[in-house]
């Protein structure tokens, strides 16, 4: 379990990026922080692997305060996926993935074998192993980023807008694959996005973050969608958007689901 205990972060310029924030991420669950730009999501995420230390308050992993842990070892023990992929441009795909196992002491052949296995895990062809990142599509680069984060078999995965830079169709398939992967891996995932639909698609629990990390609501996707706690959440979730207000229509004996403007979305299975 990851626990944020009354954390505040003030950067040098003064006003707090996050102020007195507390929440937990249960083990083996996916918790998605969703909120508008500048609300402090990335700051919160980076407190877990000590890329940012809180000005006050504590972050605990399984009851141990992370500030008592060596930051380098901590970072190697936690998977981290960024929007930009963060791949080293002059290293091949397999080298990029093998980096953390190597740093953790695996031999070169073992690290390479592990990296190839991770390519399988994230659904990439092993033929891509000797390519450089620039020779991959955006979606493939993000898969390599996920493979690298998983390569040392961390318990915790931090994901900061990992699918933000790919087109909507690839994005949906990456979300689907992450869900499938999580079903078998059961990692503790803290995921940051500003896209509420991504949060609804991925989360066991969603935390809606307002200014300075203030938690506007925490709940399952169904709870957030059906019982928004206040006007801020309702607006953020877009409960009044046409695609949220589905209706049933009859089309020659088939039940068709439409949005509020009558546009067909799919058919109803009973």
Ligand X SMILES: Nc1ncnc2c1ncn2[C@@H]1O[C@H](COP(=O)(O)OP(=O)(O)OP(=O)(O)O)[C@@H](O)[C@H]1O
- Nearest Cα residue to 31 out of 120, 167, 176, 156: 156
14: contact with ligand X by CB under 6 A? no
Residue 11 C-beta: closest distance to ligand X, Å: 3
The residue count for binding ligand X (CB under 6 A) is 12
Number of H helices, E strands in the chain: 9, 13
Considering beta carbons, is residue 36 or 135 the nearer one to ligand X? 36
42: contact with ligand X by CB under 6 A? yes
- Nearest Cα residue to 178 out of 137, 123, 114, 223: 123
What interhelical angle do 108-121 and 93-103 show, nearest 10? 120
Residue 252 C-beta: closest distance to ligand X, Å: 46
Residue 4 C-beta: closest distance to ligand X, Å: 13
**Max Cα-Cα span within the chain:** 66
Pair 150, 186: CB distance under 8 Å? no
Pair 84, 163: CB distance under 8 Å? no
92: contact with ligand X by CB under 6 A? no
49: contact with ligand X by CB under 6 A? no
50: contact with ligand X by CB under 6 A? no
**Of 32-40, 110-118, 168-176, 232-240, which segment contacts ligand X by CB under 6 A?**
32-40
Considering beta carbons, is residue 17 or 93 the nearer one to ligand X? 17
Q: Could you give the C-alpha distances from 72 to 48, 79, 145, 187, in angstroms and in order?
A: 12, 13, 19, 21
17: contact with ligand X by CB under 6 A? yes
Binding mask 162-201 for ligand X (x = CB under 6 A): --------------------------------x-------
Chosen residue from 21, 25, 43, 81 binding ligand X by CB under 6 A: 43
Chosen residue from 26, 38, 168, 242 binding ligand X by CB under 6 A: 38
41: contact with ligand X by CB under 6 A? yes
11: contact with ligand X by CB under 6 A? yes
Pair 2, 49: CB distance under 8 Å? no
Q: Could you give the C-alpha distances from 245 to 234, 240, 257, in angstroms and in order?
A: 13, 7, 10
Residues that bind ligand X (CB under 6 A): 11, 13, 17, 35, 37-43, 194
């Amino acid at each position: 379990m990851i626990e944020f205990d009354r954390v505040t972060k003030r950067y040098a310029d003064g006003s707090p990026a996050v102020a007195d924030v507390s929440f937990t991420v249960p083990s083996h669950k996916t918790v998605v922080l969703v909120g508008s730009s500048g609300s402090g999501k990335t700051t919160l995420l980076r407190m877990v692997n000590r890329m940012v230390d809180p000005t006050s308050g504590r972050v605990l992993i399984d009851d141990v305060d992370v500030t008592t842990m060596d930051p380098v070892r901590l970072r190697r023990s936690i998977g981290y996926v960024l929007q930009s992929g963060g791949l080293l441009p002059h290293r091949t795909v397999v080298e990029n993935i093998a980096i953390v196992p190597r740093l953790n002491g695996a031999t070169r052949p073992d690290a390479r074998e592990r990296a190839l296995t991770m390519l399988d895990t994230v659904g990439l062809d092993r033929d891509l192993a000797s390519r450089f990142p620039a020779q991959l599509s955006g979606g493939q680069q993000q898969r390599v980023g996920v493979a690298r984060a998983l390569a040392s078999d961390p318990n915790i995965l931090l994901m900061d807008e990992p699918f933000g830079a790919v087109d909507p169709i690839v994005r949906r398939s990456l979300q689907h694959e992450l869900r499938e992967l999580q079903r078998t891996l059961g990692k503790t995932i803290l995921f940051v996005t500003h896209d509420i639909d991504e949060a609804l698609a991925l989360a066991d629990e969603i935390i809606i973050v307002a200014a300075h990390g203030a938690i506007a609501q925490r709940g399952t996707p169904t709870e957030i969608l059906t019982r928004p706690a206040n006007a801020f959440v309702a607006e953020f979730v877009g409960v009044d958007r046409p695609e949220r207000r589905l209706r049933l229509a009859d089309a020659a004996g088939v039940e068709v689901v439409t949005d509020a403007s009558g546009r067909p979305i799919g058919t109803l299975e009973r």
